A and B are shown apart, each in its own frame.
Chain A
Amino acid sequence: MSLDFSPVFTSWHFLLGGIGDTLALSALTIALSLLLGGAIGLARCYGPSGLRWALIFYIDSMRSIPVLVVLVWTYFALPIVTGVTLPPFWAAASALTVHISAYVAEIVRAGITSVRPGQSRAAFALGMSRTQAIREIILPQALVRMLPALGSILSITIKDTAIAAVIAVPEYMNRSQTVAGQSFHPIEVFLAATVVYFAILFPVTRVVDIIYARFAYLGRS
Chain B
Amino acid sequence: MNYDWSVVWRNADVLWEGTKVTVFLAVTTMAMAIPGGIALALMRLSGIRTLSIGSALFVEFFRNLPLILVIYTTYYILPVATGLRFSPIATAIVALSLNVSAYNSETFRAGIASIRQGQSDAGYALGMSRFRVMIDVILPQAVRRVLPVLASTWVSLFKDTSLVSVISVGDLAFESMRVRSQTFRVLEMLTAMAVIYWMLGYPQAKLVDWINNRYRVSE
A interface, CB within 8 angstroms of B? 1, 60-61, 63-70, 72-73, 76-77, 80-81, 155, 158-163, 165-166, 173, 177, 186-187, 190-191, 193-194, 197-198, 201-202, 205
A53 to chain B, nearest CB (A): 14
A20 to chain B, nearest CB (A): 17
Overall SS of chain B's interface? helix
Number of A-B contacts (CB under 8 A): 112
- Rounded to whole angstroms, the CA-CA distance of A190 and B72 in the bound complex is 7
Asked if B194 and A194 make an inter-chain contact with CB atoms under 8 angstroms apart, the answer reads no
> Please, which residues of chain A bring their CB within 8 A of the CB of B36?
none
Task: Give the contacting residue for A198; candidates B1, B61, B76, B77; CB below 8 A.
Answer: B61
- Report if B135 contacts A (CB, 8 A): no
Q: Which residue of A lies closest to B199 (CB)?
A: A64
What are 19 inter-chain pairs, A to B, with CB distance below 8 A?
Answer: A1-B81, A60-B205, A60-B206, A64-B200, A70-B194, A73-B193, A73-B194, A76-B180, A80-B1, A80-B186, A158-B66, A165-B68, A173-B66, A186-B76, A190-B69, A194-B73, A197-B65, A197-B69, A201-B64
Asked if B191 and A73 make an inter-chain contact with CB atoms under 8 angstroms apart, the answer reads yes
Q: Which of B10-18, B117-125, B139-147, B161-169 contacts A (4 or more CB under 8 A)?
A: B161-169
Asked if B202 and A61 make an inter-chain contact with CB atoms under 8 angstroms apart, the answer reads yes
- Rounded to whole angstroms, the CA-CA distance of A81 and B180 in the bound complex is 16
Asked if B69 and A162 make an inter-chain contact with CB atoms under 8 angstroms apart, the answer reads yes
Asked if A163 and B202 make an inter-chain contact with CB atoms under 8 angstroms apart, the answer reads no
B window 49-101: CB within 8 A of A? 60-61, 63-69, 72-73, 76-77, 80-81
Task: Give the contacting residue for B190; candidates A77, A186, A198; CB below 8 A.
Answer: A77
> Please, which residues of chain A bring their CB within 8 A of the CB of B206?
60
- Report if B178 contacts A (CB, 8 A): no
Q: Which residue of A lies closest to B64 (CB)?
A: A201
A66 to chain B, nearest CB (A): 4
Task: Give the contacting residue for A66; candidates B61, B65, B66, B159; CB below 8 A.
Answer: B159
Asked if B163 and A68 make an inter-chain contact with CB atoms under 8 angstroms apart, the answer reads yes
- Rounded to whole angstroms, the CA-CA distance of A159 and B70 in the bound complex is 11
> Please, which residues of chain A bring their CB within 8 A of the CB of B180?
76
Given A63-B201, A69-B173, A202-B60, the answer on whether A193 and B69 have CB atoms closer than 8 Å is yes
Chain B window 194-217, contacts with chain A (Cβ cutoff 8 Å), 1 for yes, 0 for no: 100110111011100000000000
Given A72-B190, A162-B66, A202-B60, the answer on whether A61 and B173 have CB atoms closer than 8 Å is no
Asked if A64 and B67 make an inter-chain contact with CB atoms under 8 angstroms apart, the answer reads no
Asked if A197 and B64 make an inter-chain contact with CB atoms under 8 angstroms apart, the answer reads yes
Given A190-B73, A193-B69, the answer on whether A66 and B60 have CB atoms closer than 8 Å is no
Given A76-B190, A205-B63, the answer on whether A64 and B69 have CB atoms closer than 8 Å is no
Given A77-B191, A81-B187, A191-B73, the answer on whether A64 and B198 have CB atoms closer than 8 Å is yes
- Rounded to whole angstroms, the CA-CA distance of A65 and B190 in the bound complex is 12
| Ranked 4 nearest A-B pairs via Cβ | A64-B201, A162-B66, A66-B159, A66-B162
Asked if A60 and B69 make an inter-chain contact with CB atoms under 8 angstroms apart, the answer reads no
Given A63-B205, A64-B155, A66-B159, the answer on whether A80 and B65 have CB atoms closer than 8 Å is no
Asked if B198 and A80 make an inter-chain contact with CB atoms under 8 angstroms apart, the answer reads no
Q: Which residue of B lies closest to A159 (CB)?
A: B66
Asked if B67 and A166 make an inter-chain contact with CB atoms under 8 angstroms apart, the answer reads no
Asked if B173 and A66 make an inter-chain contact with CB atoms under 8 angstroms apart, the answer reads yes
B window 126-149: CB within 8 A of A? none
- Rounded to whole angstroms, the CA-CA distance of A72 and B166 in the bound complex is 13
> Please, which residues of chain B bring their CB within 8 A of the CB of A191?
73, 77
Asked if B197 and A66 make an inter-chain contact with CB atoms under 8 angstroms apart, the answer reads yes
